[in-house]
Chains A and B, each alone.
Chain A
Amino acid sequence: MANEALKQEIKSALSNKTLGRTLGTFCETYPERRLKSYEGVDFEETRENIRRVKGYAADHIDEMIEEFTKNCTARGGHVFHATSADEAIEFVRNLVKEKGVQTIVKSKSMASEEIHMNKILGDDGVLVQETDLGEFIIALEGNTPVHMVMPALHLNKEQVADLFTDYTKVENKPIISEEVKTARKVMRDKFTHADMGVSGANVAVAETGTVFTMTNEGNGRMVGTLPKIHLYVFGIEKFVKSLSDARYIFKALPRNGTAQRLTAYLSLYTGANEVVLDKETDEKGPKDFYCVILDDPGRREILAEESFREIFDCIRCGACLDVCPAFALLGGHVYGSNVYTGGIGTLLSHFLVSEERAEQIQNICLQCGRCKEVCGGGLHIPEMIMKLRERSMEKHPNPTYKFALDAVSDRKLFHSMLRIASIAQPAFMKQGQPMMRHLPMFLSGLSEGRSLPKIAQVPFRDVFPTIEQNVPNPKGKIAIFTGCLLDFVYIDTAKAVIKDLNSIGYIVDMPMGQSCCGAPATYMGDRENAKKTAELNINAMAAENYDYIVSACPTCTHQIREYEQFFQDDPEMLAKAKELGEKSYDFCKLFHMLGGLSDEGDGKELNITYHDSCHLKRSMGVFKEQRELLTHTKGVHLTEMKESDNCCGFGGTYSIKFPEVAAPILERKVEHIKETGADTVAVDCPGCMMQISGGLDARDIPVDVKHTAVIIAEKRGLM
């Protein structure tokens, strides 16, 4: 999975201070700037429209190609339909040769990167000049883009000055405005002398034969205005049917990409537009206008796969990178592709660039789901990455993880391992603290920068029968699904859930056959073990006997609700899985729903801040209920922390695989908690609880971490 070369690249990215600073600041300010750019525009409606128009084009792709070709040709353009990258580059090579092209100016075209145009034409002796400032800088550096929209973020102005000095043989000062002037000067000469311009299309319109290009620097305009030959290279995913359809994309693209309402330039070329053929005589005429449509097998594979087809809805805005906690730390180089980076890059790389590389980098995803909230095409990026993981696990099972997951999905074995661990652990305890630095067995390697909680001497399943539930005239019966952490670590949280529910008239039962929810197996891509645990829990929980199922772990709740996907061809199990899923709620949602909101409380001052779990907030949309429950409680004061819904870095098994990435994410969370001055962090997920309390403990920060259920029970005097 995470191989050594990738680990090395991660290390190197984390030690690049410029990248950390620039990207860090960019990503921190991005969400607010983006939101501001959407003032007066309904984002959800816009991306619904994008999905609709791009979905239509994908469903009618052959028609789109045919219609575009017909219409562009009718306006004097030439269209070449390339069914492979090789065909595309051969066409370009021949065109260049036939026209005697010696110099090319290029504005951004990702498809041309896929066909390695610069390298291949360069080897043929043609000078291919990248004209976008960022692309120009990395070309001088001999590097690949670190970001799809801002390719040279990893370099500071001093490094840029050095590169420019080397290139121009004149000293360049590390002053950004001066460097931009140098770029203008250097590039001007290239623009005026180039034989051919190459552009990428943001959108191609079938009905009119029009291609769209957006730029800020004006390089796209120069490429489309000066050279007498103009070549567009773009993939079939760029099509929409009508001019009117194209509008939606340009509503989201600049806002999502750079938080601009519109970029400086948006250009539409329809066929052979006019150009000056001879500047001395001022002779004018139509330019040689070519479009190469890249329709390679990778793209067709995306279309053919029901679960990946929506990749075609991607508008290449890069928003998924800008909100990704892992990307904010690492930048794009670790994604290894010369073309695409980040979450979407993982997917595109799999189909369009290198399956092997994609297999390694798919694990960088935390599955926090932030990208889904902002995606311009409404793609389910985390789910698709998960599907890739499943496939690669099927293809290349990792024996260590497989062993661990086999053990977890065997309830008796797993539970006895945990019981043994609870006896073996005192040797690892931090002095005088109820924390341990290392967990034994397969969980070792998990403790970089944080302490881990102690495994309970007596698991909750043994405590449960001793809990007295005094509920006269109960309103109903609820089954608790504890999950591993509540069962074996956070016993008090499980107790609090029961006491809280008792207090509003519900009896709670604990079906003893239950085991791990299966999320670890799912996140590792081990579908077989995930299904095994699903089956076990569906039978154990016997949802038909209860009004509701309560869980105090959003990851478990989410997993349980997903069980039905495993039984699509087993009607009996499917019905049971559905019933279980429909009755399952996370504690705060259920408690709120059943009338748990009350002003009760001991009135003693408690200053809290709240951390949103990724699953609770984004998968289940629960973020108001727990805040209401907490703030209504007498004595509780809530101060919101910065980025309260940013992942804590736990990410299920993520912190095992990439502790070096998880650690700085946690560091940031700890800083934001400290800034609030709160004495308690309220959470609703035991995974977050473990991660955050570990982070606070390792730094000796005296802030408690408590589950909402516990705070309510304590303040209402229920335990």
Chain B
Amino acid sequence: MGAVDVLYERFEKNLQAVNGNSWLADKAEAAGIIAQAYKDEGVDSVCIAESPLLQEIGLAKALADAGMEVYTDHLRLHAETAKGGVLEAQCGIADLGSIIQLSDDIDNRIVAIMPEYCIGVVRLSEIVDDYDAMFDKLCSLETLPAFVGFITGPSRTADIECVSTVGVHGPLKLSIVVIKDV
């Protein structure tokens, strides 16, 4: 197994440990996987925070072809009712199963937090080893984006009787598609 596969497997294992799941996919497969995932969960409306990568994989079309209502603008409005949200995250951390938004784009932030089922897309080449590597990367940026967000699994709480419950104000479900670009 190559170093890249090991990295992905670590990412997947750690994401699963916080109740998320992931797929490793070629660009050609990615849109299909996302469409299938939403179909399986009965999601019929999805907000996409478009990015060159999400456009390149043809996500909006794939979801529409699968019969879903797809929104790529007015996301603040539509995310109030849409069940799914897809964003591209700029980085990932293998050791934690985290994805990191390095962008002030408000649409990106809206789809990450409002819909019930969030799917993040991240390039395998952008997954760093661990937390410290991620901080080193942040520190090396010339200008820190006005927003940086780490997402590690779906939202959760243990506020009632210390019973761990997944899905509170943020997504109830979180999946990550890792794009095999190396």
- Residues of A participating in the B interface, judged by any CB pair closer than 8 Å: 18, 22, 25-26, 75-76, 131-134, 137, 150-153, 155-157, 160, 176-177, 179-181, 183-184, 187-188, 191-192, 208, 210, 216-219, 221-222, 224-226, 242-244, 246-247, 250-251, 258, 261-276, 279-280, 282, 284, 286
Is B139 within 8 A of A262, CB to CB? no
B64 contacts chain A at the CB level, 8 A cutoff: no
Interface SS majority for chain A: mixed
B178 contacts chain A at the CB level, 8 A cutoff: no
Is A221 within 8 A of B170, CB to CB? yes
Is A262 within 8 A of B106, CB to CB? no
The CA-CA distance from A312 to B138 in the complex, in Å, is: 26
Answer whether A282 and B147 are a contact pair too, CB < 8 Å, given A133-B168, A184-B168: no
B77 contacts chain A at the CB level, 8 A cutoff: yes
Is A265 within 8 A of B151, CB to CB? yes
**Of B106, B150, B155, which one neighbours A218 at CB under 8 angstroms?**
B155
Is B80 within 8 A of A192, CB to CB? yes
Is A264 within 8 A of B170, CB to CB? yes
Is A184 within 8 A of B161, CB to CB? no
State the 6 A-B residue pairs at the shortest beta-carbon distance, nearest first: A218-B170, A134-B159, A218-B155, A276-B76, A273-B146, A217-B168
In the bound complex, residues from chain A placing their C-beta under 8 Å from that of B98 are 262
- Residues of B participating in the A interface, judged by any CB pair closer than 8 Å: 18, 73-77, 80, 96, 98, 104-106, 109-110, 112-114, 131-132, 135-136, 138-139, 144-163, 165, 167-171
Is B165 within 8 A of A176, CB to CB? yes
Q: What are 18 inter-chain pairs, A to B, with CB distance below 8 A? A: A152-B159, A157-B160, A181-B167, A184-B169, A217-B156, A218-B155, A221-B149, A222-B113, A225-B109, A243-B139, A264-B18, A264-B154, A264-B155, A267-B150, A269-B146, A270-B144, A282-B76, A286-B146
The CA-CA distance from A271 to B143 in the complex, in Å, is: 12
In the bound complex, residues from chain B placing their C-beta under 8 Å from that of A25 are 162
Q: Report the number of A-B residue pairs with Cβ-Cβ less than 8 Å.
A: 174
**Of B96, B148, B161, B168, which one neighbours A267 at CB under 8 angstroms?**
B148
Is A267 within 8 A of B147, CB to CB? yes
Most chain A Cβ neighbours within 10 Å, of B76, B77, B150 = B76
Q: Would you give the shortest CB distance from B127 to chain A, in whole angstroms?
A: 15
Is B160 within 8 A of A273, CB to CB? no
The CA-CA distance from A266 to B101 in the complex, in Å, is: 10
In the bound complex, residues from chain A placing their C-beta under 8 Å from that of B147 are 224, 267-270, 273-274
Is A216 within 8 A of B150, CB to CB? no
The CA-CA distance from A266 to B112 in the complex, in Å, is: 13
Answer whether A176 and B144 are a contact pair too, CB < 8 Å, given A264-B170, A265-B150: no
Is A191 within 8 A of B159, CB to CB? no
Closest A residue to B113 by beta carbon equals A221
In the bound complex, residues from chain A placing their C-beta under 8 Å from that of B106 are 225, 273-276, 284
Is A132 within 8 A of B159, CB to CB? yes
Q: Would you give the shortest CB distance from A32 to chain B, in whole angstroms?
A: 15
In the bound complex, residues from chain B placing their C-beta under 8 Å from that of A272 are 146
In the bound complex, residues from chain A placing their C-beta under 8 Å from that of B136 are 244
Is A225 within 8 A of B155, CB to CB? no
The CA-CA distance from A152 to B160 in the complex, in Å, is: 7
Is B77 within 8 A of A243, CB to CB? no
Is A263 within 8 A of B161, CB to CB? no
